[in-house]
Amino acid sequence: MTTATDATKPTKKPARPEFSSGPCAKRPGWTLDALENALLGRSHRSKPGKVRLKDAIDKTREILKVPADYRIGIVAASDTGAVEMAMWSLLGARGVDMLAWESFGSGWVTDVVKQLKLADVRKFEAGYGDLPDLAAVDTDRDVVFTWNGTTSGVKVPNGDWIKADRQGLTICDATSAAFAMDLPWDKLDVVTYSWQKVLGGEAAHGVLILSPRAVERLESYTPAWPMPKIFRMTKGGKLIEGIFTGETINTPSMLCVEDYIDALDWAAEIGGLDGLIGRSNANLKVLEDWVAKTAWVDFLAATPETRSNTSVCLKVVDADVVAADAEKQAAVAKKIASLLDAEGVAYDIGAYRDAPAGLRIWAGATVDAADLEALTHWLDWAFASAKASVLA
């Protein structure tokens, strides 16, 4: 076991210290030259603009293995915009089960209860590190959930709890799961994500994927509330198909779109979805091996089956730190992150502001396993230094 007293300052640093959970590290080898063909100074509604946007959609379908009858659209405001677009457009037709076990899921609960003010809402909630009882969820009602809790490092293990013959719609926030985890498309009616996560794309754009069942709901149900223009996906009771062929509702950044296409091309080069998942799993294995032999740290996720292979959340379990008051516990975790930032070893690895004190290390496909291996040695050094400083 690695302890606080045997950690010495390492000499080898990660080649890339970007371990932020969003925006995430660029793909290996990325430079600004990757964007030299971006369609700049041209309308996104021009013929070349539509071609580039359609290319991004088509490559998304290929890499993610999205069924041919599912629609894929590029929308505004990152994953948040995509989730809100889905909830405001689809919910209210029947009762809804809301699942939350971290901050973003809790945010969707707040929006449904306090903003949409739906009457028939059941909440299934769990604390950071755990999942709610998935067996109690009724998928004959609509269901809103995150596949992977980015701020807790806890994911749903599979889609077995979702009925194949369900009557409700499943709305899945997959922002830190898409491209790193297998998504069972037959169990999901709406999937959202931002390409700034697993693919390391530039921020501000979301992707919204709709099943035929979701489209049927859009065309047969009109919400009781006013619908902002940015959310409208139908006209005259019919789906606006252009949204899902590259005719975006608002103006996208063609520079960001080019960056996304570059990331998708890289994904294809390394073996598509299987290659991406393989890299994420290998990265998680580096951290799992380190945690297994290190006494002062553990995963926030309560069980291995629910442990994220992207947003890996860690807690300090050293007996001396745990025995200290909450303020000092938080100070140790913050000191670890600040020390590594100052050394240029790891940036942005502090726990999310609403999460328990700890660390959050991105292990998605754009991160190299060798960099994570180097980081683990620095983490031991930083913990020893932080403990000595805070608990002195």
What does residue 98 show for φ and ψ, rounded to 5 degrees? -110, 130
pLDDT at 1: 59
Q: What is the mean pLDDT of residues 317-330?
A: 98
Bridge partners for 142 per DSSP: 96
Confidence of residue 3 (pLDDT cuts 50, 70, 90): low
In the chain, the domains with their CATH numbers are: 32-268 (3.40.640.10), 272-390 (3.90.1150.10)
- Angle between the N-to-C axes of helices 47-64 and 272-292, in degrees from 0 to 180, rounded to the nearest 10: 60
CA distance 314 to 355: 11
Percent of the chain with pLDDT over 70: 98
Backbone dihedral angles phi then psi of residue 289, each to the nearest 5 degrees? -60, -40
Query: pLDDT (tens digit, 9 = 90+) per residue, 70-107?
Result: 999 999 999 999 999 999 999 999 999 999 999 999 99
The contacts of residue 221 (CB under 8 Å, 6+ apart) are: 90, 92, 93
The pLDDT confidence band at residue 2, using thresholds 50, 70 and 90, is: low
| pTM for this prediction | 0.97
Q: Convert the pLDDT of each residue in 297-312 to its tens digit.
A: 999 999 999 999 999 9
Provide the pLDDT for residue 6: 55
pLDDT in tens, 253-276: 999 999 999 999 999 999 999 999
Q: Which amino acid is at 126?
A: A
